[in-house]
Amino acid sequence: MSGPQWFLLVGALLVAMGLTAPLIRRLPVTSAIIYLAIGLVVGPTVLRLFHFNPLRESALLELLTEAAVLISLYAAGVKMPVPFSFARWRAPLLLASASMAVTVMLVAVFAHFALGLPAGAAVLLGAILAPTDPVLATDIQVRHPGDRDRLRFDLTCEAGMNDGSAFPFVMLGLGLLGLNEIGDFGLRWFAQDVLWATAAGVAIGWASGRVMALAAAALRRGEPQHELMDDFLGLGLIGVVYGVSDLVGAWGFLAVFFAAVALRQTEEGQRAARTGLPAPAVAQVSTGSLVFKEHLERLSELVLVLLVGGSLFLDSWSWRALGLALFLFLVARPLSVLVGLAATRTPQRRRWMAGWFGVRGIGSLYYLMYAIEQGLPREIALELVHLTLVVITLSILFHGISAKPLMARMRRLAPC
């Protein structure tokens, strides 16, 4: 498919989605399933009008997925409830750390012993598939800053953090493959990629968000609110925080999420302290600003899911890939959630729902492209591309079909 044909496809799809938006909202499936179906039809699976090769276009796809995840992390961060409470954040913190590690371990063991992958490739695959996705999980995420649903909060907050907490395991897998220096007994990896990069990412993000909020309040006191300019400031904050994190070896995904959280926490604290005074807000709880950010998310979702569908052939559906997906969805994710939340008072129903809704998507695709760009051997890269694309596709299908009816059922039941 040529460039003009690609623009024609995306443009026509955007027009169609815009005209049929009310109908799509009433469908029992997510919009990602529609994009995926179109990608499968026009791609090599059916009509063969175009084929996107992730291995050959890994640099482009890394850039696209990186931008999509960053925008989604920021949008999720500014919707986190205020004020910050460790008791409320305990469950997602455990999901993004303990459950993340258990998922990586379980997938790595399965990949090594059941699929025959080398230890390094198995750990890398576990790290690629462990993070839940902040882009494709719209129907199970916090909808707005006032959303009090605890399941939505846990899943949104977990997705915001585990896109950063997965990075140390990616670096460990690359290290075991000889593509990253991990030091004797992994000490360098633990000190640099786990302790320093994680702590620095959180600190940079939190400090940057607070500074942005305080500076905006001081320099624009009494000025009317400008939603467009505040959106530009938000996007600028993403770029600055991510760039600084990269310069000092910190995890930028964590930094961007916590910058957005700190921005909102600080602005709302100022708002509460200034009873009766307007407080221009960069984090923007206004409907217009949230719609702007969500439109960017939806555009990236459309393009990237189309590319996933256009990357698959009929023979991509191997038993190896299907077995891995089922193991991840039905064993690794539920078990890791039960382990991570074992010491909490999380209601059992919410644990099982969180165990099912571990949506895999754009974050996994980013880590895969990142690993390929680090010099992953071609044979291993092809195998990981094959496995990851099938897992993402099945996640879009399984979780997309079940998201709306299960969340509606949860709303009808007692709060969880």
Lowest mean pLDDT among 14-18, 46-50, 138-142: 138-142
Which of 209, 374, 231, 385 has the alpha carbon at shortest distance from 295? Answer: 231
Question: Six-digit token pair at 247?
Answer: 């310069």
| 288 pLDDT higher than 50 | no
The whole-angstrom separation of Cα 316 and Cα 373 is 22
The whole-angstrom separation of Cα 254 and Cα 242 is 9
Residues 339-380: tens digit of each pLDDT: 999 988 888 888 998 898 888 888 999 999 999 999 999 999
What pLDDT score does 279 carry?
46
User: Helix 227-248 crosses helix 287-309 at what angle (to 10 degrees)?
Assistant: 60
Residues 73-93: tens digit of each pLDDT: 998 888 887 677 888 899 999
Average per-residue pLDDT for the chain:
84
What pLDDT score does 181 carry?
92
Residues 255-281: tens digit of each pLDDT: 999 999 998 888 877 776 665 544 444
Percent of the chain with pLDDT strictly greater than 70 = 82
Q: Average pLDDT of 10-25? A: 72
Which of 78, 255, 234 has the alpha carbon at shortest distance from 164? Answer: 255
What pLDDT score does 226 carry?
53
Domain count, the chain: 1
**Which of the four pLDDT bands, split at 50, 70 and 90, describes residue 227?**
low
What pLDDT score does 411 carry?
67
Integer-rounded Cα radius of gyration of the chain: 21
Residue of 144 and 155 predicted with greater confidence: 155
Residue of 217 and 384 predicted with greater confidence: 384
Coil, helix or strand at residue 80:
coil
| Domain extent for 341 | 3-412
Question: Six-digit token pair at 224?
Answer: 């009317």
| 409 pLDDT higher than 80 | no
Which of 324, 313, 278, 306 has the alpha carbon at shortest distance from 396? Answer: 306
**Which of the four pLDDT bands, split at 50, 70 and 90, describes residue 244?**
very high
| 10 pLDDT higher than 70 | yes
Cα three-residue angle 36-315-319, rounded to 5 degrees: 95
Verdict on whether the full-model pTM lies above 0.85: yes
What pLDDT score does 278 carry?
47
The whole-angstrom separation of Cα 200 and Cα 212 is 18
DSSP per-residue string spanning 10-39: HHHHHHHHHHTHHHHHHSSS-HHHHHHHHH
CA 347 to chain CA mean position, Å: 25
| 63 pLDDT higher than 70 | yes
Here the CATH number for the domain that contains residue 399 is 1.20.1530.20
Specify the residue for token string 């882009």.
135
The whole-angstrom separation of Cα 149 and Cα 39 is 33
The alpha carbon torsion through 252, 258, 260, 266 (nearest 10 deg) reads -140
